[in-house]
Amino acid sequence: MAIRRILTVDKAADLAALKQVSTPVEAVDDDLRALMDDMLETMYDAPGIGLAAVQVGEPKRVIVMDLHRPEEPPQPRFFINPEILWKSEETAPYEEGCLSVPEIFDEVERPAQVKLRYLNYQGETVEEDAEGLFAVCIQHEMDHLEGVLFIDHLSRLKREQAVKKVKKLKAA
Ligand code: K1U
Ligand code: ZN
């Protein structure tokens, strides 16, 4: 396993890569599992609670996540070719962050509940309901698969300020 570099919005080449639409995975094989293992290690090291493959420069429709509480054992989760089957009319706000936009947090409003279908680490099809932080995180990560960052949900002014702040932070 290896820790990969996480692309960040302060670098023009990284931003262009983050804006790509990720392509569906054709086979859940050992090469893909090696990528997912690297992503998980990278996410734990950051630290973060989710990571999309495009954030480590691999534009594939793959997400890793772990929402365990500090007092609980790790609960790694893998989502391959995830699809949203249903989203609630009800929305909920959450103060989001992103490892590709370090140290910026802002409120995003998203559907409060979603129903998902995806392939797991073994390549089995799973259907699951998500709410709370799980719903927030999976929608944030699925945005990455479409080249959308959480700051794209903010006003243009806030988005430009966020990128400026990250550039300053990274230059320091
Ligand atoms: O970059 C990412 O996509 C990961 C991101 C996921 C996320 C966080 C909050 C709302 C929606 C999606 C992060 O993990 S940012 C870091 C973070 O939230 C965190 C880090 C350490 C402990 C707890 C949370
Ligand atoms: Zn993110």
pLDDT digits (tens, 9 = 90+) for 85-111: 999 999 999 999 999 999 999 999 999
**DSSP symbol at 84:** E
Residue 149 and residue 152: Cα distance in Å, rounded? 5
Q: What share of the chain is helix, strand, coil (3-state, %, to 5)?
A: 35, 25, 40
pLDDT, position 172: 82
Residue 55 and residue 69: Cα distance in Å, rounded? 24
Residue 163 and residue 146: Cα distance in Å, rounded? 19
For the question of residue 146 being annotated catalytic, the response is no
Closest Cα to atom 2 of ligand 1: 98
Q: Give residue 79 CA to ligand 2 midpoint distance, Å.
A: 15
Q: Atom of ligand 1 at shortest distance to CA of 52?
A: 3
- For 11, 92, 103, 117, the CA distances from 16, given in Å and listed in that order, are 9, 30, 20, 28
pLDDT digits (tens, 9 = 90+) for 117-172: 999 999 999 999 999 999 999 999 999 999 999 999 999 999 999 999 999 999 98
- What is the token pair recorded at 32? 């893909």
pLDDT, position 164: 97
- Phi first, then psi, for residue 145 (nearest 5°) are -65, -20
Q: Up-side HSE of residue 80: CA atoms within 13 Å toward CB? A: 16
Ranges of H-type helices in the chain: 12-18, 30-45, 132-145, 156-171
- Phi first, then psi, for residue 131 (nearest 5°) are -145, 175
- Any ligand 1 atom below 6 A from CB of 145: no
Q: Atom of ligand 1 at shortest distance to CA of 144?
A: 3
pLDDT digits (tens, 9 = 90+) for 7-63: 999 999 999 999 999 999 999 999 999 999 999 999 999 999 999 999 999 999 999
User: Cβ contacts of residue 114 below 8 Å, gap of 6+?
Assistant: 84, 85, 86, 87, 88, 129, 130, 135, 138, 139
Three-state SS at 69? coil
pLDDT, position 96: 98
